[in-house]
Amino acid sequence: MTLCDGLDQEKLRQWAHELSQINPLNAFHEDGEYAFYRNIRDEPDFPFARILNALEPTLKKYFEIRNVEEELRLDDAFCIHYNTDQHDTTGKKHMDPSDITVNFCLERSADLVGSHVLFFGEKQLTGVKRNEDSADKSNQNGGCKQYLVAQEAGFATVHYGGHWHQTMELKHGRRTNVVLTYCFTDPSKSEASRTCYATKAT
């Protein structure tokens, strides 16, 4: 879904520029996966509330949430920047320690090649009919369906934290994404029991 309509475009460009610069705050190698990482959970000026408001229709429609401010809490927020100077631009297959993850592409170069997010299998969304024929064929072939999601500036990928996914190799260009992880405020509803990013060998 696109988040641009409800957000200040100039502010987004400023954040994209700042968060894609190498400095002591983001020159961090996280588990050998990401070269430029910056935690922005405590950034006072980042538009967390506006992003959540822009997401509200999607969260209500597909994730059975009636009141986003009451039912969700922001658990973590960080920026990842990828470019071809990095030794490794991939992200291992993993699940997030969240109930819902928002992966928002702040900016990408026009010549970006690769750096898709690959999802494994399906997670049922509210109001979306499951394709039984497709699922049966996938099971018969001994594997699960895979979905390759391109990262487009101004668009966010919203998914369950427990949905296995990985970042594919960036072959050309650059991109900067902000990842927001949310947990349900009601512990009985939350499935975010993971205390770290669960990885899986591929």
Task: Tell me the average pLDDT of the chain.
Answer: 82
Kindly tell me if the per-residue pLDDT of 82 is higher than 50.
yes
Kindly tell me if the per-residue pLDDT of 113 is higher than 70.
yes
Q: Is 43 within 8 Å of 134 (Cβ atoms)?
A: no
Model confidence over 133-159: pLDDT tens digits? 554 444 444 568 999 999 999 899 999
Give residue 166's pLDDT.
Answer: 96
Give residue 16's pLDDT.
Answer: 76
Model confidence over 63-77: pLDDT tens digits? 999 999 999 999 999
The residues, ordered by sequence, that sit 6+ positions from 193 with a Cβ below 8 Å of its Cβ are: none
What mean pLDDT comes out for the span 44-63? 91
Alpha carbon 144 to chain centroid, angstroms:
21
Q: In angstroms, how far apart are the furthest CA atoms of the chain? A: 51
